[in-house]
Amino acid sequence: MFFRKKIAFKENDIESIISACLANNHLAQKALIKLFFGFAKNIGLPYVDNEQDVDDIINDGFLKVFNNLSKYDHSKPFKIWFKAIIINAAIDYYRKNKKHANQISIDYIEIINEGEDIISKISAQEILNLVQKLPPTYRMVFSLYVIDGYNHREIGEMLGIQEGTSKSNLQDARKKLQLMIKKNYPHLYLAHSLQTNKINEN
Amino acid sequence: MKTEDSDDAIRKKIKSLASPYGQEEIDAVYNYVKQQQTDPERKYYLIGFISLAGLIIFGSLTLNIFQVQKQTNLEHTIDTLKKNLAKSEANNKLIKTDTIYVNNYLAEKGGNNAVANSKNSTQSQPDVTFNSTIPSKKDFNKKSTNKNIVSNNTPLSSRKKNTYLASNGINNKSKTIKTTGNDKLAHYQEVAPSLTQNGTNNTKINESVSKYEKLNKTIAYIIENDVKKDSLTVPQANKFNTENDSSLSKKDTVNSIKNSNNIAIIDSTTNASRKKEFSLAKNLEYRAGVGFEVANSQLGYSILGEMVYKKKLIISVGLKYLSTGKELFSDDDDYHHHKNKNFKNSYAQQVKDSIHHNIKISNTVFQIPITFSYSFQLKKNFSLIFGIGTDIDLYAVQHVEYRHPVTNSDFTQKKFDVKQPTLYFNNTVLSTGLQKQFKHFVFQLSPFVSPQLKNVTYKTESVYYGLRIRAYYCF
């Protein structure tokens, strides 16, 4: 307890880093942060509306990782466990800031299936920016369902909402996203509608 | 189907995104984690300290309960013994024999012999005065002589010998005096008319009676005072009574007794007021000594003074020299890593060069340690002490050392001191420990915990754990 031997680790070997972290080796903790910072940031970004807020999710996420590292099951990939923790941190962040979330009624939006064509013509960063502009509730459901692949039952449990609410939120998120694409990239929609008309004429 | 396609497209796009990040972001996360994460070692120390403190408190309380129980038992035993003693004393009454000699004349009705006797007696003892004494042992032989004289002059029947029982205590003795006196007075009153009838030495006898009445009043006065006044006055009065009554005249005796009684009362009241005046000073004890403490790689040496009230409440004040252990950093990066600050920027006035190795930082602090303690007495001059206090920081200076590379192989060693801003009140010290007294010397050994209430540059830890040893000389 008082004279603990420091465990050595290799910077690219995740197992040795985890072992050293469990032995409270601060340098190993730093190495783990360095190794997974980008990954954590990528996971967290779709859940917030700006890059500054993602820092809170990352900080909280890493703290949870180190505090619960002893519970990690070594038989499963660390990346999946880590991703789940970061998503939980994002959900916690959402819950903390829920009172500030504004619900927007988007009943007036007509559903247009823009398809893969339009999305492929927009850059990844632009898509991320659009997702980040979604209202928080829609953004959470959209990110969990579309980006991270959870189903509505899981989303309902995670966010404490009904499965049906999750479905309707996702639908609304899609509508809102389409509206934003239409607003921000009208030329893409124009080209897409012309192409669609040509196909119909033929 | 199209919705699923667009979802896949969005997922792929976002997953392919690699957000840029810098070292600062990693450091920020690391510092946050380090700050928030509970150090397991600290947790163990804290648990250990709390357990120890709890054990000491529980032990002392248990000991206290046992001691109270023991004391109650002892008091009960003492009461029983006292009662038994009183009973045995009551059963075995001490019989003290004392003799009172009464020189007087007995008049026999209508008898010339009596008058003649009376005359003879008067002639042989021209000054007929009542001579009543409670002889002391010293006077016993003298009284025996008197007895012989009296027996020659008076008939055997006229002598009245009183034997009385005296129990312990002055009051009983006084009662005896009173009883004896009353008997004598009654006897005189009986005798007086017959003497008056005889018409011989009437004046002298009347004088004797009046003198005796006065003496009787005096005795009554003494008895009253004996009962009412402080017991301190009684021995003096009695002493006077027994020693002087044979040598002084009755009037002088009365005045002397009164005066002595008053003096005794004045003396006793003066003593009481003096006692009150000096009771606070009596309960205070002063100590001076030295102390040594070690905590989280810091050492402290102190000169101390203690004021102890009723051996329970202790106020300790002194002057402490505190030296913190050296913080070592291999280079600027290491310094930045630990302190989250740039070394050169931290000491901009003193550090002009850019590369620094083997950075060593230590601090010297002068403090006034103040502790308020409660001492719980145990057996064999041991006592438990529980204290709370603080260290008032007066002056702090930081000593910085580092090596600056001149060439690839040569280094120059540089040193400088920086005065640090101090906060008078920035911590609290909680201690519990053991105290042992050897005659005039007192030794204290107490572990302590000192949480920092406010951050200062010369104290790096948020909580200090340590051990304190102090030695005092009692004045």
**What are B273-299's pLDDT values in tens digits?**
555 555 667 788 889 999 999 988 789
**B18 in contact with A, Cβ within 8 Å:** yes
What does the DSSP assignment read for A126-188?
HHHHHHHTS-HHHHHHHIIIIIS---HHHHHHHHT--HHHHHHHHHHHHHHHHHHHHHH-HHH
pTM summary value? 0.41
Name every chain A residue with its beta carbon within 8 A of the beta carbon of B30. Answer: 29-30, 33
For residue A141, the one-letter residue type is V
Domain boundary among A69, A96, A123: A96
Does the residue A109 lie in any domain? no
User: Which value does ipTM take for this structure?
Assistant: 0.80
**B1 in contact with A, Cβ within 8 Å:** no
Looking up residue A81, the CATH number of its domain turns out to be: 1.10.1740.10
A132 & A171 share domain: yes
How many beta carbons lie within 10 A of that of residue A109, not counting itself? 15
A137 & A170 share domain: yes
Strand runs labelled E in B380-440: 382-405, 411-420, 429-438
Looking up residue A196, the CATH number of its domain turns out to be: 1.10.10.10
A142 & A192 share domain: yes
Domain boundary among A65, A96, A127: A96
Does the residue A170 lie in any domain? yes
A124 & A71 share domain: no
CA–CA gap between residue A78 and residue A67 (Å, rounded): 15
Which residue of A33, A79, A151 to mutate against B (max B Cβ within 10 Å)? Answer: A33
A145 & A193 share domain: yes
Q: What are the pLDDT digits (tens) for B376-411? A: 888 878 888 888 999 998 889 998 988 887 766 677
pLDDT, average across residues B1-10: 75
How many beta carbons lie within 10 A of that of residue B191, not counting itself? 18
Does the residue A137 lie in any domain? yes
Q: What are the pLDDT digits (tens) for B300-328? A: 999 999 988 888 888 999 999 999 877 88
Please name the residue of chain A whose CA is at the shortest distance from the CA of residue B14.
Answer: A124
Give how many domains chain A has, as a whole number: 2
A61 & A25 share domain: yes
* pLDDT score for A89: 92
**B26 in contact with A, Cβ within 8 Å:** yes
Confidence class of residue B35 from pLDDT cuts 50, 70 and 90? confident
Q: Which residues contact A116 (CB under 8 A, 6 or more apart)?
A: B2, B5, B6, B8, B9
For residue B243, the one-letter residue type is E
Does the residue A107 lie in any domain? no
* pLDDT reading at A86 higher than 90: yes
A89 & A136 share domain: no
**A114 in contact with B, Cβ within 8 Å:** yes
CA–CA gap between residue A137 and residue A81 (Å, rounded): 24
Among A130-144, B148-162, B259-273, B350-364, name the most confident range. A130-144
**B25 in contact with A, Cβ within 8 Å:** yes
Does the residue A6 lie in any domain? no
* pLDDT score for A109: 44
A131/B41 Cβ within 8 A: no
B11/A62 Cβ within 8 A: no
Domain of residue A73 covers 14-96
Which residue shows structure tokens 């016993």?
A: B140
Q: Work out the percent of chain B whose per-residue pLDDT is above 70.
A: 60
* pLDDT score for B291: 93
Which residue shows structure tokens 């046992």?
A: B66
A72 & A19 share domain: yes
Q: Which residues contact B472 (CB under 8 A, 6 or more apart)?
A: B287, B288, B289, B304, B306, B441, B442, B443, B444
**A116 in contact with B, Cβ within 8 Å:** yes
Does the residue A135 lie in any domain? yes
pLDDT, average across residues A140-169: 90
Does the residue A75 lie in any domain? yes
* pLDDT reading at B114 higher than 50: no
* pLDDT reading at A75 higher than 50: yes
B21/A46 Cβ within 8 A: no
| pLDDT averaged over every residue in chain B | 72
Domain boundary among A48, A66, A96: A96
* pLDDT score for B209: 64
Q: What are the pLDDT digits (tens) for B185-242? A: 555 555 545 544 554 455 666 676 677 677 667 666 665 665 554 444 444 444 444 4
Nearest to A26 among B6, B32, B34 (CB): B34
| Of residues B118 and A80, more confidently modeled | A80
A73 & A121 share domain: no
Confidence class of residue A108 from pLDDT cuts 50, 70 and 90? very low
Confidence class of residue B156 from pLDDT cuts 50, 70 and 90? very low
For residue B181, the one-letter residue type is G
Give the burial string for A51-81 (b: 16+ CB within 10 Å, else e): eebbbbbbbbbbbbbbeebeebeeeeebeeb
Does the residue A121 lie in any domain? yes
A19 & A81 share domain: yes
Which residue shows structure tokens 């030495």?
A: B201
A156 & A194 share domain: yes
